[in-house]
Amino acid sequence: MLSVLLIDDEIRWMESFKKVLSNYKITSEDNIFTAQNGSSAMEILSGRSINIIFLDLILENEHGEDVLKQIRSEFPEVTVVIMTGMNDIFTAVNCMREGAADYLVKTATVDEHIASVKRISAMCDLIAENKALKKSIFSDHAGEFDRFVTCSPKMFTIFKYLSAIVASKEPVLICGESGVGKGVLAKAFANVARQDKPFVSVNIAGLDEQIFSDTLFGHIKGAYTGAEHNRTGLIQQAENGVIFLDEIGELPMSLQIKLLYLLQERVYQQLGSDNIKHSEARFILATNDDLRKKQETGQFRKDLFYRISTHSVTIPPLRERKNDIPLLFEYFLKEISFETEMQIPHYDDSLIYFLMKCDFPGNVRELRSAVYNAVLKGGSTLTIDDFHHLDNGSNMPANTFTEEDILPTVNEIVNQLIYEAMRRSGNNQRKAASLIGLSQSTLSRKLRM
């Protein structure tokens, strides 16, 4: 059960919050410990395993920021949540930059407190779970799909299905948004289906008829002006192996019939040649388009659609498998360290907590790019500031919510908007008020609330 430490010099408030946590079954009273100052808190941390700390910013004779720094230094694995009044909100955000996972406003309602605590608790559980999974994910043992870093049940279901169709000669269609890892999954499947055989890939978006035919089929000398030598096409290069055609949804209608004939008959001709060649290559195709909708609107041949969708899988976006984010983050750190011979930088759980709240519209590709940029620009330690450009729910209210999401209150949205305006304006109240359409006096009043 969750182990909690409350650090506050207001005993009455601590007892009240303790009862709230217990009554709402966040944890039992026996697992909630209290301290009125930093030294008492450090004694408790030295003798007990604590999961979450709720730390008040204003303590008698000391400041919560100093206590936070000491905790992060000696017990970096513990999640710290800052408790603050509205007038301390910007200090609370600065504390998040120092390693706090989140902040709660003391004046919020009980329901708002519980919703926040449940969210934080769930995130802590995910972080702990992913730490345990790292050992298996990054161990030296080889797995069928070990190229695809994940702990998602949805992905394991996909792996199981692909393993079952290894012996089939039918094409495989991989669907999913840009950046989810369609090419990585294609390589992983090829390694299982045609191990030690060639794997060739081509992005066919924007290819005209001649380039498409020349790339896939090759040509003989003199096939067209400038064809001074024979050229081996990708299909022949992939003989008995796998050929991966990416962006299949962008293939023009005029070329779709050629691909259909190749898939059905498994024969082709080089440009300029009358000789018919046979192919035993396994075809994997990928798209981020809705091919069913395209074939319904006449943009994609129905016969080709049914031909390539016999075996199809859809990779879920990263926002639907957020517990993959810590694993991918660690993987990319190891990857860039290997490529550049740089030391792997340090980071703490507050950064992981931040990243897991990001939506990553660019999916895994966006996360990888963010990690690479942060490492190459940063120093020996990565912090939230290195990823400030990412769209994170703590900076602005989300535009959309799922049925399971707890909707923010109007006050929460207003507070988030004010914070973002102050951040963008460099804490200049006049500029911040202008950004969000408030008078400076109204903004000042809200900041004092």
* CATH of segment(s) 153-315: 3.40.50.300
DSSP-derived secondary structure letter, 288: S
What is the per-residue pLDDT for 394? 46
Decide if pLDDT at 98 tops 70.
Answer: yes
| Whole-angstrom distance, CA of residue 239 vs CA of residue 436 | 61
Decide if pLDDT at 408 tops 60.
Answer: no
Q: Give 319-377 pLDDT, tens digit per residue.
A: 999 889 988 998 899 888 888 878 888 887 778 888 988 889 999 999 999 999 998 88
Q: Given the structure tokens 């709660």, which residue do they identify?
A: 104
CB neighbourhood size of 338 (10 A) = 10
Lowest mean pLDDT among 37-51, 85-99, 196-210, 405-419: 405-419
Domain 4-136 has CATH 3.20.20.70: no
Homologous superfamily of domain range 396-449? Homeodomain-like (1.10.10.60)
Q: Is the pTM of this model over 0.75?
A: no
Which residue did the predictor score with more confidence, 402 or 312? 312
Alpha-carbon separation of residue 367 from 164, 194, 332, 390, 446 (angstroms): 31, 30, 9, 9, 35
The pLDDT-based confidence of 392 (bands split at 50, 70, 90) is: low
What is the per-residue pLDDT for 88? 61
What is the per-residue pLDDT for 103? 79
Residue type at 180?
A: V
Same fold, 153-315 and 396-449: no
What is the per-residue pLDDT for 223? 84
| Whole-angstrom distance, CA of residue 119 vs CA of residue 378 | 30
The pLDDT-based confidence of 414 (bands split at 50, 70, 90) is: low
Decide if pLDDT at 170 tops 90.
Answer: yes
What is the per-residue pLDDT for 138? 43
315 with 176: CB under 8 angstroms? Answer: yes
Work out the end-to-end distance of the chain between its first and last CA atoms, rounded to an integer number of angstroms: 36
What lies within 8 Å, CB to CB, of 441 at 6+ separation is none
What is the per-residue pLDDT for 396? 40
Q: Which helix (H) or strand (E) covers residue 412, if one does? A: helix 410-424
Q: Measured at the alpha carbon of residue 175, what is the angle toward residues 173 and 177, in degrees to the nearest 5?
A: 160
Reading the block at residue 284, the tokens are 């994997």
Where exactly are the structural domains of the chain?
4-136, 153-315, 396-449
What is the per-residue pLDDT for 397? 39
Q: Give 211-262 pLDDT, tens digit per residue.
A: 888 999 999 988 888 888 888 889 999 888 999 999 999 998 989 999 999 9
- Maximum average pLDDT range among 10-19, 97-106, 136-145: 10-19
